[in-house]
Amino acid sequence: MTVSLPENPIFCALDTPDLGRALKLAKNIKGHVGGLKIGLEFFNHQGPDGLKAIVGTGIPVFADLKFHDIPNTVAGAVRAIAPLGPGILNVHAAGGHAMMQAAKEAAMERAGANAPLVIGVTVLTSLDRDDLEQQGIAASPSDQVRRLAALSQEAGLDGVVCSAHEIDVLRRDCGPNFKLIVPGIRPAGAAVNDQKRVMAPADAVSAGADVLVIGRPITKSEDPGAAAAEIAASLST
Ligand code: C5P
């Protein structure tokens, strides 16, 4: 059995190399978020012990490490990360069906209800049509997202990361149980930063998002706890 997602869909992106800062943020926002996300910057600075410390806060953790290698190597990486206790981990769907299947099988080796959800990364939002063409891919980014989401589902993954504007079509393509994890979320009035196409938290949830990945609107706020609480409240009205 895989872990269940928390009721509060907000996962705060702790985009920092600093363990002390990450733990302080976690403490401030505990109770107002469903989870925390750590990524490559944090992990490459703080390693498995850093991840364990974040898991130790008791808040569900998404290890956004985007594995992409041959199936045997990715399965080994999943076997190394899963026992550290993240509730969600991810792999690049472009790694192919066999790689995704190997990742999912390795995650399911975790006993009981502790197997992390394995999520596919489709097309990075930093890539546009020209970038795909340079890689020999003629499809538009949105068609490529749909293709990779379908491939992720066929390989047995639990869901994909997608932009808010892809929720609708992927919900239709992949059905109600496929998890959609959505970054690029901005409460009304918040700075957009470098995100190109954003959506408000409540709109993304109404569209069918399961997890909202929200970083700077919380972490750069003077009062991260209050910012997270306000976003959470906007979801229950
Ligand atoms: O600060 P902000 O809310 O923009 O943070 C969004 C988080 O989601 C960051 O950790 C970023 O790396 C991640 N992300 C994203 N867009 C994607 C995939 C991941 O913004 N397509």
- Top mutation candidate among 213, 214, 219, 231 for ligand 1, by most atoms within 8 Å of CB: 213
The DSSP secondary structure of 193-237, one letter per residue, reads TT-SS-B-HHHHHHHT-SEEEE-HHHHTSSSHHHHHHHHHHHH--
**Does the residue 127 lie in any domain?**
yes
**Does the residue 60 lie in any domain?**
yes
Q: Domain total for the chain? A: 1
Q: What is the pLDDT of residue 237?
A: 67
**Does the residue 2 lie in any domain?**
no
Catalytic residues: 66
pLDDT in tens, 78-95: 999 999 999 999 999 999
Protein residue closest via CA to atom 18 of ligand 1: 183
Protein residue closest via CA to atom 3 of ligand 1: 215
**Does the residue 214 lie in any domain?**
yes
Q: Indicate the pTM of the whole model.
A: 0.96
Ligand 1 atom closest to the CA of 185, numbered from 1: 3
Find the 80 Cα to ligand 1 centroid distance in Å: 24
**Sequence-ordered alpha helix ranges (H) in the chain:** 19-29, 40-55, 71-81, 97-108, 129-134, 141-154, 167-174, 201-207, 216-219, 224-235
Ligand 1 atom closest to the CA of 193, numbered from 1: 4
Q: What is the pLDDT of residue 194?
A: 87
CATH number at residue 183: 3.20.20.70
Ligand 1 atom closest to the CA of 219, numbered from 1: 1
**Does the residue 4 lie in any domain?**
no
Per-residue pLDDT of the chain (237 residues; tens, 9 = 90+): 888 999 999 999 999 999 999 999 999 999 999 999 999 999 999 999 999 999 999 999 999 999 999 999 999 999 999 999 999 999 999 999 999 999 999 999 986 668 999 999 999 988 999 999 999 999 999 999 999 999 999 999 999 999 999 999 999 999 999 999 999 999 998 999 888 889 999 999 999 999 999 999 999 999 999 999 999 999 986
Q: What residues flank ligand 1, with Cβ below 6 Å?
A: 13, 15, 39, 124-125, 161, 183-184, 193, 195, 213-216
Q: What is the pLDDT of residue 195?
A: 84
**Does the residue 1 lie in any domain?**
no
Q: What is the pLDDT of residue 114?
A: 85
pLDDT in tens, 187-233: 998 999 888 889 999 999 999 999 999 999 999 999 999 999 999 99
**Does the residue 129 lie in any domain?**
yes
Ligand 1 atom closest to the CA of 39, numbered from 1: 10
Find the 112 Cα to ligand 1 centroid distance in Å: 31
Residue 144 CA: distances (Å) to CA of 141, 175, 191, 218:
5, 18, 29, 31
Domain with 101 in it: 10-234
